[in-house]
Amino acid sequence: MTPDVVPVIGPVASRPGFHIATGFSGHGFGIGPAAGQLMADIIAGDRPLIEPKPLRFERFTDGSPSIIS
């Protein structure tokens, strides 16, 4: 579980080549297929169906506002 209850999906900037998809807070079964497609698109360099930036790992340390109201 992440502090904002939103999954982390994408590369970890401080570890080149390392990608994570975690923190689904119990919803992984339901959103797992979409998360897997998003991760595949990110890794392959394809245009993802949604903008992955709000799901990045660095949101916890870069001063980004929470995406949860």
Chain segment 53-66, per-residue pLDDT in tens: 999 999 999 988 77
**Residues 22-50 pLDDT 10s:** 998 877 788 999 999 999 999 999 999 99
**pTM of the predicted structure, to 2 decimals:** 0.84
Q: CA–CA separation, 63 vs 19, rounded Å?
A: 21
* Domain regions of the chain by residue span: 8-60
Number of helices followed by number of strands (H, E) in the chain: 1, 2
Residue 37 CB: number of other CB atoms within 10 A?
14
Radius of gyration, alpha carbons of the chain = 12
68: CB partners within 8 A, 6+ apart: 4, 5, 6
